[in-house]
Amino acid sequence: MNRKLLKTALLVGVLTLAAGAGQAWAQSATTTFQVNASVAGSCEIRANALDFGMYSPIDAAPVDQTSTLQVRCTKGVTATVALNDGANSLSGQRRMAGGSEFLPYDLYRASTRAAADRWGNTVGFLASYTASNNGWRDLTVYGRIPADQDVTTALSLTDTITATVNF
């Protein structure tokens, strides 16, 4: 009988331990933790070619065309967009080149193409804005070739402008 009693006692002990272990798992404790991030102010810029098309040196009117810059900045960032004078400039005059020939032109921030609206890379000649969201914003570039430029016929003229967004 002692053996039977011992087996029963052991079985009851094991079951009691198992039941106690189950109760320990049913309890819980909590804590909190923070999640952090920093938002970087950033911008990107892209540009479309400005194509004046065919230019006739004997026309009495200037040739005007437009192009678009696209700028995208983090919401709240204030940015300025600068255009350099190009790869062929001379004394601040933008020029397209074809062989040894040059064709002057300029770029403006407004459709009036006034001298005060010349688009450059110094204070007063920059386009600026504050981003209200992180979507792309179109900025129009107004180009003009002045009338009566003395250039050789059948030339293909080009220049390269660098557009920079500062933020």
Report the length, in residues, of the chain. 167
Q: pLDDT digit of tens for each residue in the chain (167 aa)?
A: 566 655 555 555 545 555 555 555 689 999 999 999 999 999 999 999 999 999 888 887 999 999 999 999 999 999 999 999 999 999 999 999 998 999 999 999 999 999 999 999 988 899 898 999 999 999 999 999 999 898 887 679 999 999 999 99
Residue 34 vs residues 30, 31, 37, 38: alpha-carbon distances, Å = 14, 11, 10, 13
Global pTM? 0.78
Euclidean distance between CA atoms 112 and 114, whole angstroms: 5
- 21 dihedral zone (left: phi>0; alpha: psi -120 to 50; beta): alpha
Euclidean distance between CA atoms 104 and 90, whole angstroms: 10
- In this prediction, residue 57 carries a pLDDT of 86
* Range list of H helices, 94-158: none
Token pair recorded at residue 141: 């570039």
DSSP 55: -
- In this prediction, residue 6 carries a pLDDT of 52
Phi, psi of 115, rounded to the nearest 5 degrees:
-55, -35
Domains and CATH numbers, the chain: 52-166 (2.60.40.1090)
Q: Which among 120, 166, 116, 118 has a CA at the least distance from the CA of 142?
A: 118
Note whether 41 and 105 are within 8 A (CB): no
Token pair recorded at residue 58: 């004997």
- In this prediction, residue 28 carries a pLDDT of 94
